[in-house]
């Protein structure tokens, strides 16, 4: 694994991943409090903005056509540059429609980087290494979150929301610009198809990706909003919670990658979805501020298990299908993600418990589906 960390592509992706996560974490940490305290938004507004945030993810398949014009690693760096721009501008538009605009800019950068990040990782690292690489990158991401969380904690006492967004966004923009100047590529890889790829044998991957997007959006759109709106978490408390969360994930993420290598995708994903059924039910029923914070940490830990869906694809997919399939997968992931926050925001106004009960149901369906993974992998291996 030490040789892997010296790989130029690994270092390139590590740098951009740290910047990407720092940008998103800044936005996420400040957004709910900024939206409630400064812009005076309600649950239905939050739901719409979160749906808009997922539109770029829904359009991720366009990355297939963009890499016809520019190389994939340059698209990665350009995406980080765009992410930084969106974050930097957020505080300058303290209105409902202003947040929609800056959220779109930020989100295009984040989602297109995630698409290329997944693709490049699966292309440059083999089946026995990629789970570890995904886990290690998530570990770096957690460390980035810890650093940015501590920074924001102190900056909230010194600077306005506007200046925090601007200063951190500018640094991320600069990292993206620097990445545009680098070339970490090799010439010995399988050329990628530059067209949309849909194959019947990828059906289970598509389904799991779709369900993961739906479940993730319930968490992203409403878990933190629940902490702020119902349990009155302050911006400092939210930041402390993020720091604790990421300290745990810094140490746990590489272990999850190793667990996928040792035990396989089916066992890891089964553990995730079995646990999420109970976590979502508890979100809807718990009245304790401490317990709801613990649930949030556990929920975020299980996010890392989703890398098993990508490594599952690596085992069943053609090498030339990786880039277009990651882009198509990202779009599938965001079909539900575009609709669920808006619909969930309306349901929230009826009863805040409804979105979380829906999350438990989705987790049950996913748990059933992952029981077919090992059988599918064996079938593909026998027919190759």
CATH at residue 163? 1.20.1250.20
170 or 197, which is more confident? 170
- Tell me the pLDDT band of 169, cut-offs 50, 70 and 90: very high
66 or 109, which is more confident? 109
355 or 58, which is more confident? 355
In a domain, 190, yes or no: no
CA distances from 32 to 39, 70, 226 (A): 10, 36, 10
- Tell me the pLDDT band of 145, cut-offs 50, 70 and 90: confident
For residue 108, pLDDT over 70 is answered with yes
- Compute the mean pLDDT over every residue in the chain, rounded to the nearest whole number: 86
pTM for the model = 0.82
- Tell me the pLDDT band of 273, cut-offs 50, 70 and 90: very high
For residue 81, pLDDT over 70 is answered with yes
310 or 225, which is more confident? 310
- Tell me the pLDDT band of 198, cut-offs 50, 70 and 90: confident
In a domain, 2, yes or no: no
In a domain, 256, yes or no: yes
User: Structural domain tally of the chain?
Assistant: 1
Portion of the chain with pLDDT greater than 70, in percent: 97
In a domain, 247, yes or no: yes
Task: Give the least confident one: 270-284, 307-321, 333-347, 349-363.
Answer: 333-347
In a domain, 17, yes or no: yes
Tokens matching residue 287: 């009245």
Classify residue 261 by burial, with Cβ atoms within 10 Å: 0-12, 13-18, 19+.
Answer: middle
Task: Give the least confident one: 169-178, 233-242, 292-301.
Answer: 233-242
In a domain, 138, yes or no: yes
CA distances from 38 to 25, 26, 35, 94, 230 (A): 19, 16, 6, 7, 18
DSSP 3-state of 315: helix
Which residue range forms the structural domain that includes residue 270? Answer: 8-182+196-383
C-beta of residue 32 within 8 angstroms of C-beta of residue 111: no
Q: Residue 131 and residue 24: Cα distance in Å, rounded?
A: 23
For residue 117, pLDDT over 80 is answered with yes
In a domain, 1, yes or no: no
- Tell me the pLDDT band of 227, cut-offs 50, 70 and 90: confident
| pLDDT at site 2 | 60
| pLDDT at site 244 | 84
In a domain, 188, yes or no: no
| pLDDT at site 102 | 93
C-beta of residue 16 within 8 angstroms of C-beta of residue 144: no
């Amino acid at each position: 694994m030490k040789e892997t960390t010296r790989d130029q592509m690994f270092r390139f992706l590590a740098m951009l991943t740290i910047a990407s996560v720092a940008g998103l974490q800044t936005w996420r940490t400040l957004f709910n409090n900024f939206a409630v305290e400064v812009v005076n938004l309600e649950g239905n507004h939050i739901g719409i903005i979160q749906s808009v945030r997922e539109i770029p993810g829904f359009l991720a398949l366009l990355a297939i056509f963009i890499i016809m014009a520019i190389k994939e690693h340059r698209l990665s760096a350009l995406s980080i540059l765009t992410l930084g721009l969106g974050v930097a501008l957020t505080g300058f538009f303290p209105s409902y429609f202003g947040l929609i605009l800056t959220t779109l800019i930020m989100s295009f950068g984040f989602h297109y980087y995630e698409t290329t990040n997944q693709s490049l990782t699966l292309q440059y690292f083999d089946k026995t290494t990629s789970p570890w690489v995904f886990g290690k990158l998530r570990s770096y991401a957690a460390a980035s979150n810890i650093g940015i969380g501590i920074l924001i904690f102190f900056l909230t006492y010194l600077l306005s929301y506007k200046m925090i967004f601007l200063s951190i966004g500018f640094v991320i923009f600069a990292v993206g610009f620097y990445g545009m100047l680098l070339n970490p590529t090799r010439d010995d890889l399988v050329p990628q198809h530059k067209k949309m790829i849909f194959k019947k044998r990828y059906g289970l991957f598509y389904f799991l990706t779709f369900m993961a997007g739906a479940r993730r959006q319930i968490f992203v759109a409403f878990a933190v909003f629940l902490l702020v709106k119902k349990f009155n978490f302050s911006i400092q408390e939210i930041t402390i919670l993020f720091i604790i969360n990421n300290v745990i994930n810094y140490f746990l993420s590489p272990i999850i990658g190793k667990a996928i290598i040792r035990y396989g995708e089916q066992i890891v994903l089964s553990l995730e979805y079995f646990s999420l059924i109970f976590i979502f039910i508890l979100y809807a029923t718990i009245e304790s501020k401490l317990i709801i914070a613990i649930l949030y940490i556990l929920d975020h830990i299980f996010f890392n298990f989703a890398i098993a869906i990508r490594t599952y694809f690596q085992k069943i997919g053609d090498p030339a299908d990786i880039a277009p399939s990651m882009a198509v997968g990202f779009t599938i992931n965001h079909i539900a993600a575009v609709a669920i926050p808006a619909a969930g925001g309306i349901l929230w106004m009826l009863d805040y418990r409804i979105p979380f009960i829906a999350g438990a149901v989705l987790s049950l369906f996913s748990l059933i589906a992952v029981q077919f993974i090992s059988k599918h992998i064996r079938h593909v291996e026998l027919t190759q």
